[in-house]
Structure 1
Amino acid sequence: MALNLARSVRTISIAKEAFRVTWQQTFSAGGAKSKKGSKGGGASDAPKASMLSKEVKSTTVVGANILKEGADPKILPDSEYPDRLWHLLDKRPALSELRRKNIETLPYADLKRFVKLDNRARIKENNSAKEKN
């Protein structure tokens, strides 16, 4: 048993040493390629300029095509998109705000949101009560 342990420790130390030597060689090879006398922060660190013209960027959705064949879709005028799209980022009322309102006068979407948030809050309360016991 002790002999097997000694062999495994020796194998690990040899593997570590081989990794260390390999890493040092890789690191030094990369350093040899750098220019002598450069002070850093030169043109090589600057971001690459885009090869696309501003006209192409303003008329197409660049990078939206995920297929090998085909082209990026064109940007359409606002009238071509559905109305619901323009309301996706609107702020929706929080549970506390919905509780202050009269439930009978709420629109269907707000009522649905109220039920969902209220159920979620009750589940969290029940879980925390069970956790304490």
Structure 2
Amino acid sequence: MAMSCIRLLRRISITKEAAQVVGIRGFAVAGGKSKKGSKGGGSGDAPKASELSKELKSTTVFGANILKDGADPKILPDSDYPDWLWHLLDKHLPLSELRRKNTETLTFDDLKRFVKLDNRARIKENNALRAKN
């Protein structure tokens, strides 16, 4: 009962005047006045996408910086990255296709993937059988 009341109260939007009458305290706005139409949380000095030059867009990874005082990393030439990076988005065969192929002709990586997926499928089947009993 209490949880449904709390959920109901969260959905109700309270005007500023009604909050003052009831005695609900709101959050203070930095600078004393709020800007109409702006949403809080961000600083005004962040660069906009339209203001960035094409040269800067092609040499920097924007949004990758997670440090407060850090800078966005520069894009390096392809030769500076490891070889495995370029194969991360390659499509892998699903288990049904791996089962159709001869295990003797599979590459080592495909064979490892087949064993992993086949074990996972068997575990799921055993769990489903045990759950029914």
TM-score (norm 1): 0.61
Match of 1:39 in 2: none
Match of 1:123 in 2: 123
| TM alignment of 1:78-97, pairs within 5 A | 78-97=78-97
Match of 1:38 in 2: none
Give the root-mean-square deviation of aligned CA atoms: 3.4
| TM alignment of 1:53-92, pairs within 5 A | 53-92=53-92
CA distance in 2 between partners of 1:59 and 1:103 (Å): 45
Match of 2:102 in 1: 102
Identity of aligned residues (%): 67
Provide, for residues 22-64 of structure 1, a one-character-per-residue CA deviation record: whole Å limited to 9, x for no partner: 9233589xxxx9x9xxxxxxxx69xx95343222121101122
SS in 1 for 2:90: coil
State the 1:74 CA deviation.
0.9
Amino acid at match of 1:118: D
**Count of aligned positions:** 101
State the 1:109 CA deviation.
0.7
CA distance in 1 between partners of 2:126 and 2:54 (Å): 56
By percentage of residues, which structure has more helix? 1
TM-score (norm 2): 0.61
Distance 1:27-1:74 versus aligned 2 partners, 3 A rule: farther
| TM alignment of 1:10-21, pairs within 5 A | none
SS in 2 for 1:86: helix
Match of 1:4 in 2: none
Name stretches of at least 5 consecutive residues in structure 2 with no aligned partner: 20-33, 39-46
Q: Does 1:24 align with 2:15?
A: yes
Match of 2:52 in 1: 52
SS in 2 for 1:75: coil
Name stretches of at least 5 consecutive residues in structure 1 with no aligned partner: 1-11, 36-43
Amino acid at match of 2:119: N
Amino acid at match of 1:65: N
